[in-house]
Structure 1
């Protein structure tokens, strides 16, 4: 059935860590919901390349576009290679637009994990990515890490100052993130931006 709706419908998820059962359930959800786009917000592996087997191809077999970024379990270079192999968008410092919605982001984390990036790199990535879709009236920002000074920190998991500053400066309609498993499904409003931890269960987003 042809999709004729005007709104952009997205399945966004993070932190599946190569769990094949979880991945299968997300494939099913994407098909049932007839989403326009799948966003993978980092930590899709458990530090092993074979954990990506079947993760992306099944979505593409159903003709569903995919965009991906690294978390703290994989680096941006290996994620870029994976993106090239499957012909999908690597959102690390890059952006795309679908149905008039600009989507921009940066992978990695500034605080925790073996694949950390600096706050400066995070800020530069987000600015460069946003600059390319700044004309869009609706915007979604995508990161793996959460913003600083937010409820996602739980007083023990510091977030990124650069992500918080980007929310304030660029004013996206929505920020999608993951990383903190304990905040699965948690939402918060920062300024006027809806911030969502999409988690391993995934969230359907319409804008």
Structure 2
């Protein structure tokens, strides 16, 4: 399976169009947008239309610049295009996808306990899947992906804890602009900060 993963497009219609074209060119089976689709709800109008026009299914979660209401609106408008991964899960073949959006700091904040509980709840529905992909907005704590200025770590301890317990094949995240497109590993799990230009992932 080929996935185009991206994050933090912040309502940029040009970025969305470029990603849809990349998904079509690369023959991606699924697009994943790991949060911060908008700037506090601004920029959502028409944001997913390029993917619909390209015939691509899109799995989405909210970031700290989105709200759960924003995701609900997109689900209603693009019901034939979207998989909602915020506290939900789904399977394609033998691959299970699960996740939780928002972040542990800033607007639309979740506590670490809430993040852990939501990831666990969404995982429970696909735990029998042969392969698993976890989608979150905030990266796991103390990795290459959560480092900002002066070596400050802003990742989620709960995301890290759940990766170490569940051991998904892949964890897709975003949030930290300084580490877009970087990868790290926690055990055997590939952890990828997808970024707005997108990354092709094969599983």
Question: Are 2:174 and 1:206 aligned?
Answer: no
Question: Are 2:132 and 1:132 aligned?
Answer: no
Question: Are 2:158 and 1:162 aligned?
Answer: yes
Structure 1 residue corresponding to 2:192, chosen from 187, 190, 196: 196
Alignment gaps of 5+ in structure 2: none
1:85 maps to 77
Post-superposition shift, 1:54?
2.5
CA contact (8 A) 2:40 2:65 kept: yes
CA contact (8 A) 2:17 2:50 kept: no
Post-superposition shift, 1:19?
1.5
Q: Take 2:179 and 2:35, find their aligned partners in 1: how far apart are those partners?
A: 15
- What does 1:56-135 align with in structure 2 at a 5 Å threshold? 56-87=48-79, 88-111=82-105, 113-135=106-128
Q: Take 2:48 and 2:60, find their aligned partners in 1: how far apart are those partners?
A: 9
TM-score by length of structure 2 reads 0.93
SS in 2 for 1:152: coil
Alignment gaps of 5+ in structure 1: 1-7
Deviations 1:51-93 (A, max 9, x none): 1222212212222111111001011232123223211221111
CA contact (8 A) 2:36 2:65 kept: yes
1:3 maps to none
CA contact (8 A) 1:68 1:83 kept: no
Q: Take 2:47 and 2:132, find their aligned partners in 1: how far apart are those partners?
A: 26
1:43 maps to 36
Structure 1 residue corresponding to 2:44, chosen from 43, 52, 56: 52
Post-superposition shift, 1:22?
1.5
TM-score by length of structure 1 reads 0.91
CA contact (8 A) 1:186 1:197 kept: yes
Structure 2 residue corresponding to 1:25, chosen from 18, 28, 40: 18
Deviations 1:18-70 (A, max 9, x none): 12222221111011011111111000112243x12222122122221111110
CA contact (8 A) 1:123 1:163 kept: yes
SS in 1 for 2:152: coil
Deviates more, 1:123-132 or 1:51-60: 51-60
Aligned-pair Cα RMSD in Å: 1.2
Q: Take 1:129 and 1:80, find their aligned partners in 2: how far apart are those partners?
A: 17
